Structure 1
Amino acid sequence: MKKIIVVGAGYAGLSFIKGLTENIFSKAEVTLINNNSYHYHAAQLHKIASGEADKSVIYDIEKIIDKRVKFVVDDVTKIGKDYILAKNGKYEFDYLVLSLGYEKEMFGIEGMDDAFDLGNYEKSLAIKDEIYNKINELKNSKIDELNIVVCGGGLSGVELAGSLATELKEKEGKNNFEFNRVNIIIIEALPNILPMYDKDVVQKATQILENLGVKIMTNSKIIKKDDDGIEIENFGSLKGDIVIWTAGVKGNSLIDNSCFKSYRGRVEVNEYLKPKSCIEEIFIIGDIAAFKDKKTGKFYNPTAQIACQMGTHLAKIINAELGLAKVPKFSYKNKGSVCSIGKNYAVGNIFGKNIYGKFAVIMKEIIEKKWNFALEGFKGLLRG
């Protein structure tokens, strides 16, 4: 029996596990190692931070994987050519699938290590707790105003700001809460928020955010963070009671400390999702995999969409290898994306067409439900 070890139960790792065919389990022992007992829907972590969602975005891993997959909760500390070390033991493999998640990338900004971020479920929950603790202080007149600064105007930053503004109005508005004492501010170094979209989508998103009371500062490069807030180039200091970093991610530091040639925790992979250094038994997918667009020569940004496609395709590769069939090459098909701005608004671009309004909201819901269905079948469609 071949030994297949999968490290990481994110979008990529679980897509791989779900894609394995029935006959694989008669030819291989499959072990999934993750640093906790649950999977979280990472694209919805902003909802945890804002209070829009709760445990509906997390899944008990043992309940969503095939019972023939051995599941181990452990922290991997070292990756070798034919083994991995973890806190609780050594694991040997014939095939290793690395699907480790991302880490916060601060680009050397002084003090930003101390900022909150949406790195995982616990960190997102900590943001929620801090926000609502501060709001209670505001209600009790312990502080005069509350500045919530979101550093980064990409998808995560916009979705967080929009969700938070909506939730505060819906939940705290019932208590006649004074919203004019809460400032939600997006800081973006580029000329526009949502740089992945064209100007029409950007304008629509900007209008929605401003109508929700969110303040947007573009062309604003952050120099440093301290206890009082942040310093912005050509602007000065901005008071920040709660500073949340959404401006950048990198791969995983474990990769940089391994035998791979890597950059910022990511490893360039070929069309078979193997490292360019060509270690035959090791595959790399998800946030730690750097895959090039053949036309532009640029690496694709790490997203949930490409992670899922990599995981599903790698299952086809393993199914083919163990079945002695022709091994297929990977190619990425970008289907577009949708950015939610609270529960009631969304913008995006799907298959090359800009979308707005109710249709965009529905498309966002379909995208989220699709992952729920992949993990739990029809039961997943009932999740909040």
Structure 2
Amino acid sequence: MANKKTIIVIGGGYSGVNLIEAIKKDFHWELRENMRVILIDKNSFHFKKVKLFKGIVNDKVADLSVPLKDYCGTAIEFIQGELAKIDAKKQTIRIALQDGSFDELYYDQLVLAMGSVVREADSDCGGFSLTSLESANNIREQLLRKLQSPDINLRVVIAGSGITGIETAAEVGTWLKEEAEKAGNKQKSIEIYLINDKQRLVNDAPEKVGERIESRLRKHGIHVLHHKKAERFTDNQLYFSDRSSLDADVCIWTIGLKSHPDLCKLGLSLTQDGKIKVDAWYHASERNIYAIGDCVHVVDPMSGAAAAMSCKEAISQAKRLSKIMKADLDGSTAAPHQTYPDLLCIGLGPTDGVVWAKKWGMDFVLSGKVAERIREYTWSMSSINR
């Protein structure tokens, strides 16, 4: 790498910050002498999206945001702005800056780590979609008001049973009971219902794992309704697709993630669900344009499995891509994408959790406080212990 090279990373989510960290380690001396690395994000901070539900149970959640300059240090430049255009022929990008102006930057290698956004229920569905800290705070205030009402019963439904839905149900249930005791309202009946439109929980893991999670949820007083697709919440009724309904005081929608909506504006080849198509080395439309994380569709060349949208995949892809980028600049070859080993970590409130791992053809399942500590460790590791 005789000439100074410029690497631009778009996105300061889990894949972006982990890529920055990997570049620091893998390029090391080149970073000082022959490299210019720029991180670009519309926000000035990395947001711990997987812990968004914590905003409901805790009004002091400043630790969910980490300044991106903390990740960059002195070796990486940071620009706050949004990607507006890619000119692959000129190897330039156009950035919309915070003051309304635009800047054009040249790149030798460009990485799109634009991640995903939280799905929001349609406005006519009623209830609250857990999509941001603002929405989490609105949900918190609504729950506290309901808790202070003279009604004996309080029923909350969580519509959406992915990992976020499961963790939200457990955290909210524990928190509401604690708040009721603090208020001297111990007689208040608090019910949490988790609505699952599938046959069982966590279909990606063995059936016994889903059963273990559901068993732990029952111990926390969480009711799970299977084969129920929630459609709308109105007049204290949650209506299902089978025309049945459930009385409820509050409805929280946790309906998963979708690829970043701005990807369709960049002229890249996308899948039907809006993900960037990349090869096994994360190359997109051009060999010097890469993409990783929730925004990509990448397949393991050995197993044929497509990567899931998860933090553990983002970390793995980031570490692998750094080596691929270095090899591409050096004219050598690095190992291609490999699906992250089977692992599932779910928090079930502040003192419980379930962890499943598959190794040597065997399933290992842990639950309780040890599993909760492992889950805390994975959250911390995803944001590089910040």
Normalising by the residue count of structure 2, what TM-score does the alignment of the two structures yield?
0.85
**CA 1:279–1:239: 2 relative to 1, 3 Å:** farther
Pick the aligned partner of 2:324 from 317, 333, 344: 317
More deviation, 91-100/315-324: 315-324
Q: Does 1:356 align with 2:367?
A: yes
**CA 1:242–1:330: 2 relative to 1, 3 Å:** same
Q: Does 1:267 align with 2:280?
A: no
Aligned to 1:49: 56
RMSD: 2.7
Please tell me the residue identity of whatever aligns with 1:47: K
Q: Is the 8 A contact 1:36 1:73 kept in 2?
A: yes
Q: Is the 8 A contact 2:306 2:339 kept in 1?
A: no
Between 1 and 2, higher relative CO (CA 8 Å, sep ≥ 6) is seen in 1
Aligned to 1:75: 82
Offset of residue 57 of structure 1: 2.6
**CA 1:151–1:229: 2 relative to 1, 3 Å:** same
**CA 1:158–1:328: 2 relative to 1, 3 Å:** same
Pick the aligned partner of 2:263 from 255, 271, 292: 255
Partner SS state of residue 205, structure 1: helix
Separation in 2 of the partners of 1:179 and 1:41? Answer: 36
More deviation, 57-66/326-335: 326-335
Task: Please list the CA deviations of residues 151-209 of structure 1 after superposition, one character each: whole Å capped at 9, or x if unmatched.
Answer: 11121100111011112223432222357454322111001122223232222222222
Pick the aligned partner of 2:137 from 125, 128, 143: 128
Q: Is the 8 A contact 2:19 2:322 kept in 1?
A: yes
Separation in 1 of the partners of 2:169 and 2:198? Answer: 17
Q: Does 1:59 align with 2:63?
A: no
Offset of residue 313 of structure 1: 1.2
Task: Please list the CA deviations of residues 45-69 of structure 1 after superposition, one character each: whole Å capped at 9, or x if unmatched.
Answer: 2222332872223211112223121
Q: Is the 8 A contact 1:197 1:348 kept in 2?
A: no
Unaligned segments of structure 2, at least 5 residues? none
Q: Is the 8 A contact 2:38 2:79 kept in 1?
A: yes
Offset of residue 341 of structure 1: 0.4
Aligned to 1:192: 200
Pick the aligned partner of 2:19 from 16, 21, 32: 16
How many percent of aligned residue pairs carry the same amino acid? 21
Pick the aligned partner of 1:244 from 231, 249, 252: 252
Normalising by the residue count of structure 1, what TM-score does the alignment of the two structures yield?
0.85
Aligned to 1:170: 178
Unaligned segments of structure 1, at least 5 residues? none
Aligned to 1:99: 113
| Aligned residue pair count | 367
Q: Is the 8 A contact 1:347 1:356 kept in 2?
A: yes
Separation in 1 of the partners of 2:116 and 2:187? Answer: 34
| Mapping of residues 112-127 of structure 1, within 5 Å | 116-119=128-131, 123-127=132-136
Separation in 2 of the partners of 1:178 and 1:286? Answer: 45
More deviation, 144-153/69-78: 144-153
